[in-house]
């Protein structure tokens, strides 16, 4: 019995992630899209685990599946959208709709096709699968990437202040 469990895990993750991503893109209901997006984020965290980036997998679950999804669900609830269910359109009708019609699909398909054709033409080297420990990552962030790290923290502060100001009701002090 010789099962490659990494392969099994990869196939499972691929199925879950791509199906969820497909539903995010196609489902008319915004709330469903948000919940499927959370599933896709957890699947992507699984990819990070397979790639040996445990810290990033944990951050992915905390930041994306936790914080970003919470903010999105709150935004959906607070926006008081009249058509939260959206209109259900068949795939055929979406592709032939007067609004851009088939062009988004063509652009995306051309991009993916070009990338995959390039990969198949010049096969990627196998590589040796080195992995960086959390200690390495921490050292790099506070030495090599110190300036981008500080800029990122200032950016987060600016985004926080901006979000508070933008979402404040007018006429409040």
Partner 1 sequence: MPLSAFVTVSAVLFGMGLYGALRRTNAITILMCIELMLNAVNINMIAFSRHLSPDPVRGQAFAVFIMTLAAAEVSVGLAIMLAIARRRRAVDVNEVNTLKG
Task: Give kind and range of the element (H or E) at residue 26.
Answer: helix 5-26
Among 85, 93, 96, 119, binds partner 1 (CB under 8 A): 119
Phi, psi of 64 (to 5 degrees): -80, -60
Residue indicated by tokens 């359109």: 89
Least Cβ distance, residue 44 to partner 1 (angstroms): 5
Any contact of residue 159 with partner 1 (CB under 8 A)?
Answer: yes
Among 12, 93, 96, 103, binds partner 1 (CB under 8 A): 103
Any contact of residue 99 with partner 1 (CB under 8 A)?
Answer: yes
Least Cβ distance, residue 81 to partner 1 (angstroms): 6
Residue number with CB closer to partner 1 (90 or 119)? 119
**Footprint of partner 1 on residues 21-80 (CB under 8 A)?**
21-22, 24-26, 30, 33-34, 37, 40-41, 44, 47-48, 50-53, 55-56, 59-60, 63-64, 67-68, 71-72, 75-76, 78-80
- Positive or negative CA dihedral for 161, 164, 166, 172? negative
Task: Provide CB contacts within 8 A for 115, sequence distance 6+.
Answer: none
């Amino acid at each position: 019995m010789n099962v490659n469990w990494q392969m099994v895990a990869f196939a499972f993750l691929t199925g879950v992630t791509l199906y969820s991503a497909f539903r995010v893109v196609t489902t008319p209901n915004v709330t469903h899209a948000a919940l499927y997006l959370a599933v896709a984020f957890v699947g992507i965290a699984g990819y990070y685990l397979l790639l040996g980036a445990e810290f990033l997998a944990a951050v992915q679950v905390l930041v994306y599946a936790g914080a970003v999804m919470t903010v999105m669900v709150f935004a959906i609830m607070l926006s008081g959208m009249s058509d939260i269910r959206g209109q259900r359109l068949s795939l055929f009708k979406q592709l032939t709709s007067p609004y851009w019609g088939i062009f988004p699909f063509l652009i995306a398909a051309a991009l993916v096709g070009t990338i995959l054709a390039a990969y198949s033409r010049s096969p990627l080297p196998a590589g040796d699968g080195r992995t960086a420990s959390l200690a390495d990552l921490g050292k790099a962030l506070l030495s090599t990437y110190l300036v981008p790290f500080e800029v990122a923290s200032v950016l987060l502060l600016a985004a926080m202040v901006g979000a508070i100001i933008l979402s404040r009701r007018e006429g409040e002090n």
